[in-house]
Amino acid sequence: MLTVLAFLAALGLLIAVHEYGHYRVAVACGVKVLRFSVGFGKTIWRWQPKRQHPGQTTEFVIGAFPLGGYVKMLDEREGPVDDAERQRAFNVQPLKVRAAIVAAGPAANLLLAVLLYACVNWIGVQEPRAVLASPVESSVAAKAGLRGGELVRRAGWAQEDMEPVRSLDDLRWLLTRATLDGRDIWVDVARSEEGESRLVLLPLSRIEAREADAALFRKIGILGPWTPPVLGDVAAGGAADRSGLRKGDVIIRIGPVPVVDGVQLRELIRGSVAGGQAVAAVWRIERAGGLIDVEVKPDVRLDNEKSVGRIGAFVGGPPAMVTVRHGILEGAWSAVVRTADVSLLTLRMLGRMLIGEASLKNLSGPLTIADYAGKSASLGLTQYLVFLALISVSLGVLNLLPLPVLDGGHLMYYLWEGVSGRSVSGAWMERLQRTGVALLMVMMSIALFNDVTRLFG
């Protein structure tokens, strides 16, 4: 139920803000708005405020199908218009007015993202401290000399232009951007808060990144924050339960290998498979102040067509957390920068998918969005606001793509009109609309297929 409510609330807000952008600029430019609709199809709720802007008699509607909305304006192309109101029709407006009305929808979504990110910055959010877990063996981080337990103080593209790293989420965002952009990154690390710093270069440009997923961070080698190698809840009937392991057991050693943190413990469990068969090992554990040895034979499961070990228990304790909060001006500027960064990253990923350098698996549809809406809402207000901001940026950027059925397609028509001095003909408009609908349907089909594969595959 939480997932459904969070999803509907997100859709309603983002669509309403997008359409309000069109509506507000149209009204400000003197264009008559006939209908403002959130949703398509059968009308669920309809009302017409008594007090409206001068000359407006807009009808506000909520439709049954929530995946979209529209603002219907007075337009001679859609029906007869009285001579007395012709000057208020959309189609007779100057080019710059029409372009401003169309661009206002995506702009409203981007402005909403700035506001949401700013609210998160001002409220503050609990994030894992930027203390690194043990890197994945043979990964970029491991080869660069990181061993786990390092505190990351600063990071950046160049040694002379490094910025403070407030949390592990900050670092992961920088690593994602650097890898997808094919850039190296410097990190300033220390063994403790007061320890001596050292600079480490992570040559991320050597990684061939097609997807921003867990596999990407396995290549980088930084999977998460440092956590103690302790067991949480143990599932009945799993390998941990059969071996006699209990919640709260601290793992000291697996076979001859000392265990230093939760990430390394998970990696050792995953790798306890040879030839598709589980490999048993003697675990030394600390329990109630004493040391005991337990033989553990993990279960074998498939993960992305690879056999890995599983023990049926939560592995790793909670990481150290830090509250990340910004001042008024700093938080607002950081929100603008974050919105711009996410927008540019989205555009780059779309461009790379178009030329085949990035996987189409990066496209997500309504099922994935609904899933993340529920998960983020369950984590608290700030996480839900971050989710809303990310989707709002995506909606704004996607609507600016030059597809004929989107706002960007209409702006493309206006660009042609501005350059050539004449509008796109009706015949060409119809052909382009059909092409745009076909392309949009293909994109939606791929996104839905990715959703089903990701959630149920």
pLDDT tens digit sequence for 153-196: 999 988 888 889 999 988 998 888 888 788 899 999 998 777 78
pLDDT tens by residue, 407-417: 998 898 888 88
Mean pLDDT over residues 350-366, rounded? 72
pLDDT above 70 as % of the chain = 96
* CA triple 293-295-297, angle to 5 deg: 150
- 307 pLDDT above the threshold of 70: yes
Q: What span, in angstroms and rounded, lies between the C-alpha atoms of 19 and 361?
A: 29
At 112 the pLDDT is 96
If you average pLDDT over residues 5-26, what whole number do you get?
92
What is the crossing angle of helices 381-399 and 366-379, to 10°?
A: 150
203-234 as b/e, with b when 16 or more CB fall inside 10 Å? Answer: ebeebebbebeeebbebbbbbbbbbebbbeeb
Query: Among all chains, which residue has been given the structure tokens 């690390």?
Result: 189
The pLDDT assigned to 77 comes to 85
CATH class held by domain 231-315: mainly beta
What is the structure's pLDDT at 368? 74
- List Cβ neighbours of 174 (8 Å cut-off, separation of 6 or more): 155, 156, 165, 185
Q: Other C-beta atoms within 10 Å of 449: how many?
A: 15
Whole-model pTM: value is: 0.80
Structure tokens given for 442 = 């293909």
Residue environment code for 68-105, b if the CB has 16+ CB neighbours within 10 A, otherwise e: ebbbebbbeeeeebeeeeeebbbeebeeebbbbbbbbb
Any catalytic annotation for residue 19? yes
Query: Is the pLDDT confidence value at 284 over 80?
Result: yes
pLDDT above 90 as % of the chain: 43
pLDDT tens-digit series, residues 100-125: 999 999 999 999 999 999 999 999 98
Q: In the CATH hierarchy, which top-level class contains the domain 140-220?
A: mainly beta
Of 81, 79, 80, 58, the C-alpha closest to 70 is 58
- pLDDT of 38 > 80? The answer is yes
86-97, pLDDT tens digit by residue?
899 998 999 999
Cα–Cα distance measured from residue 110 to residue 21, given in angstroms and rounded to the nearest whole number = 11
* Structure token digits, residue 52: 């409206």
DSSP labels for 349-408?
A: HHHHHHTTSS-GGG---HHHHHHHHHHHHHH-HHHHHHHHHHHHHHHHHHHTSS-TTSHH
Exactly one of 19, 127, 150, 267 is catalytic; name it.
Answer: 19
SS3 assignment, position 38: strand
On whether the CB atoms of residues 306 and 115 are closer than 8 A, the answer is no
Choice between 33 and 348, residue whose per-residue pLDDT is larger: 33
In the chain, where does the domain assigned CATH 2.30.42.10 lie? 140-220, 231-315
* Location of structure tokens 């030839």: 275
Query: Is it the case that residue 214 has pLDDT exceeding 70?
Result: no
